[in-house]
Chains A and B, each alone.
Chain A
Amino acid sequence: MADRPLKVLIAKPGLDGHDRGAKVLARGLRDEGFEVVYTGLRQTPEMVVTAALQEDVDVVGLSILSGAHMTLVPRITALMRERGLHDVLVTVGGIIPDDDVAELRAQGVAGVFGPGTTIREVADFLRANATPRGA
């Protein structure tokens, strides 16, 4: 159905406790008309992927400020492929050095958003790139 809102999982994998950005984004995407599932802090890759599967989301947005993105993100994208979530868009936000962006893209990340990104930019990117569930 064309007018169904996009469903986005906002997850914070790993151990950093900085969830203000994730909450602001979750709230901002709500105001942009998305259905946002927020899972809270300290999620394992397994928890993130299971939530994405059960919720049948169109987008998984990962917020990572711990520096562990090169460990966490490949595990999550690999697990998503293993569970058949091939068509779910993955984006990463947080403190991601430019040098890591290419490798994250190679791991299946569609968009990387650093400090200074506006909510509108994220919303426009998701609308342009996510495929809504058809079933």
Chain B
Amino acid sequence: MTADAADRATALADAARAGDRRSLARLLTAVENHTPLAEAALRRLYPEAGSAHLVGITGPPGAGKSTLVAALIARLREDGRSVAVVAVDPSSPITGGALLGDRVRMQAYASDDGVFIRSMASRGHAGGLSSTSAAAAAVLDAAGFDVVLLETVGTGQSEVEVAAAADTTVVLEAPEMGDEVQAIKAGLLEVADIVVVNKGDRPGAQRTAAQLRAMLVPSVGRGDADPSRRAPKRPEVIVTTAISGEGIPELIALLDRRRADGSSAEAARVARATAQVDGIVAQRIRDRLAEGTGGGATGAVYEAVARHELDPYEAADRLLALLGDGGVREA
């Protein structure tokens, strides 16, 4: 990267920190596009991040994620807290296009200077977020927002990535979406810190919440829990009606309590840092393989695997050997 680009990154990062929304928006675009400028800006901003509460909002399509986000914005603004939203919708696997429709529910707050909403397309990334959502959240955190809400695409049973990107994970369910067996399956519900049964005005909402509470209790008694064993979380279950705002103050109280409970937040932070660094390592390795070896040597390895002349494990070892210095040294 040229010195000029580095200067631009610094200027953009500092302007975003100082409250210039246009610079913040531009920076988020750079982050989405994985540009060198974004990396330079993130290096500058990362030490400034860490004070926002990052809250992941996930759940099936139509459960009310965007409406819940709008209700949370309304309430948090009443408390005088600033809010940023990263709302992810899926990209088409066919054309690469996307329809980003989450703003429809949130537009009432668009002109409030204490609110910043950014839609992102998933761009082929599975897991419920885009590959740059966590970095975008870090930028918004560094820009000084008190709360950053990360809304995933509509998820199914196993898109659990948001749990690594957020301090606190809220999983939305709609009433009558399945029986108790659905609630004891592994996956999404396991990563929830808070389970919200939304559309509380619909029949069956309280019953769904009661079933979830009954099924999400720990499988071992508290007394004989082995602290060295990884145990699933025990989420709180709450009923909301996002469209009317019912249950939202209670949800925010739960979020604040989670935030104050340092131990769980610390675990989430380490998980997030691990996911971020590992992701960058993987990207760097791919970049170096693509650039450094000119693509020729790697292409031959892939083709040999396709012809079944080489097994994929041996192929991976050869590619890693191509990276040169080999071996792990003390950092």
Q: Let me know if A38 and B101 touch, CB within 8 A.
A: yes
CB-nearest residue of chain A to B117: A54
9-residue interface stretch from A45-53, A65-73, A98-106:
A45-53
Q: Let me know if A56 and B97 touch, CB within 8 A.
A: no
Q: Let me know if B99 and A33 touch, CB within 8 A.
A: no
Q: Which residue of B22, B27, B28 contacts A83 across the interface (Cβ within 8 Å)?
A: B22
Interface size on A, residues (CB 8 A): 32
Q: Let me know if A35 and B100 touch, CB within 8 A.
A: yes
Q: Which residue of A39, A84, A85 contacts B104 across the interface (Cβ within 8 Å)?
A: A39
Q: Let me know if A53 and B25 touch, CB within 8 A.
A: yes
* A-contact 0/1 string along B219-253, CB 8 Å cutoff: 00000000000000000000000000000000000
Tell me, in angstroms, the Cα distance from A37 to B66 when the chains sit together: 14
Q: For residue B120, give the distance in angstroms from its CB to the closest CB of chain A.
A: 9
Q: Let me know if A5 and B96 touch, CB within 8 A.
A: yes
Tell me, in angstroms, the Cα distance from A38 to B119 when the chains sit together: 10
Question: Does B297 lie at the interface of the complex (its beta carbon under 8 Å from any beta carbon of A)?
Answer: no
Q: Let me know if B119 and A55 touch, CB within 8 A.
A: yes
Question: Does B116 lie at the interface of the complex (its beta carbon under 8 Å from any beta carbon of A)?
Answer: yes
**Given the contacts A5-B121, A35-B121, A30 and B25 also touching, CB distance less than 8 Å:** no
Residues of B within 8 A of A43 (CB): 107
Q: Let me know if A38 and B95 touch, CB within 8 A.
A: no
CB-nearest residue of chain A to B95: A33
**Given the contacts A30-B92, A31-B97, A83-B22, A135 and B12 also touching, CB distance less than 8 Å:** yes
Can you show 11 pairs from A to B with CB atoms below 8 A apart? Answer: A5-B121, A27-B99, A30-B92, A33-B96, A35-B98, A35-B100, A35-B121, A38-B101, A50-B111, A135-B30, A135-B38
Q: Which residues of B contact A (CB under 8 A)?
A: 12, 21-22, 25-30, 32-35, 37-38, 91-92, 95-101, 103-104, 107, 110-111, 116-119, 121
Known: A5-B97, A36-B98, A84-B22. 20 other contacts (CB 8 A): A26-B99, A30-B95, A30-B97, A31-B92, A31-B97, A33-B92, A33-B96, A33-B97, A38-B104, A40-B104, A46-B110, A47-B111, A50-B110, A54-B21, A54-B25, A54-B117, A85-B22, A133-B26, A135-B26, A135-B37
